[in-house]
Amino acid sequence: MSQIAFDHVSHRFDAETVVDDVSLVLREHRIGIVGANGSGKSTLARMVNGLVLPTAGRVTVDGLDLARHAREVRRRVGFVFTNADNQIVMPTVREDVAFTLRRHKLPATDAAARVDAVLDRFGLTELADRPAHRLSGGQKQLLAIASVLVAEPDIVVADEPTTLLDARNARRIAEHFASLEQQLIVVSHHLELLEGFDRVIVMEAGRVVADDAPRPALDAYRALIA
């Protein structure tokens, strides 16, 4: 697993401190982040691939500082956005998944095989030639995850990847995450998704208020929002 380190990290948007002096070392396989709306979870997650840079402190991935090496780190970190429309760039489902592989310089048959396998894994085969922007919200969410995973990044960061999914597709994603070899960081309000994880971090007003195994951490979070 990689080592993702937050060293006294803060982030301010104008006058508002949304991440407030967070220090964490993340080495576990599957890490969940929970917290109330606006507690800073997405901002923290976005720092792992430099989509947001700290206004104080340092974020490193295996020693590489995001402030200086964002491009290098981004090759290793796949980011799944909450709003899939932010990451769907190609006309059809198949083309969108294939687009992620453009920089991998794979022989065309190998790339096509990888795309087909991912489409199949996420139940998207029948939608492969559909216009991606006309999928349902949940189908787009599956596509967004498939498009990141096809590149087999070392680390997958997913920001609320199941918000629009029905129970069957949420289970599909949970099962897929459970079988994923890569390091995984998931921001979610869907607490069951995180039950089998190795570590859960609870955020409140930009700070880490609990950081533990899923059961105690989720109990602490439920108590906090009760």
Contact (CB, 8 A) for 45 and 214: no
Residue 16 beta carbon to ligand ATP: minimum distance, rounded to whole angstroms:
6
Q: Rounded CA gap, 60 and 97, in Å?
A: 28
DSSP track, 110-157: HHHHHHHHHHHHTT-GGGTTSBGGGS-HHHHHHHHHHHHHTT--SEEE
State which of residues 3, 8, 13, 91 lies at the interface with ligand ATP (CB under 6 A): 13
Residue 207 beta carbon to ligand ATP: minimum distance, rounded to whole angstroms:
12
* Residue 43 in the binding site for ligand ATP (CB under 6 A): yes
Is the CB of 134 or the CB of 189 nearer to ligand ATP?
A: 189
* Residue 15 in the binding site for ligand ATP (CB under 6 A): no
State which of residues 3, 25, 29, 38 lies at the interface with ligand ATP (CB under 6 A): 38
Tell me the number of residues near ligand ATP by CB under 6 A. 10
**Which two structure tokens, joined as six digits, stand for 71?**
């491009």
State which of residues 40, 50, 54, 161 lies at the interface with ligand ATP (CB under 6 A): 40
Is the CB of 41 or the CB of 114 nearer to ligand ATP?
A: 41
The Cα-based distances of 79 to 16, 23, 47, 55, 56 in angstroms read 25, 21, 11, 21, 23
* Residue 37 in the binding site for ligand ATP (CB under 6 A): yes
State which of residues 30, 41, 94, 114 lies at the interface with ligand ATP (CB under 6 A): 41
- The residues near 68 (Cβ < 8 Å, ≥ 6 apart) are none
Is the CB of 43 or the CB of 139 nearer to ligand ATP?
A: 43
Query: Considering only CA atoms, which of 50, 45, 43 is closest in space to residue 17?
Result: 43
Query: CA 44, 174, 183, 97 torsion: positive or negative?
Result: negative
Residue 172 beta carbon to ligand ATP: minimum distance, rounded to whole angstroms:
22
Residue 96 beta carbon to ligand ATP: minimum distance, rounded to whole angstroms:
24
* Residue 42 in the binding site for ligand ATP (CB under 6 A): yes
- Binding residues for ligand ATP (CB under 6 A): 13, 18, 35, 37-43
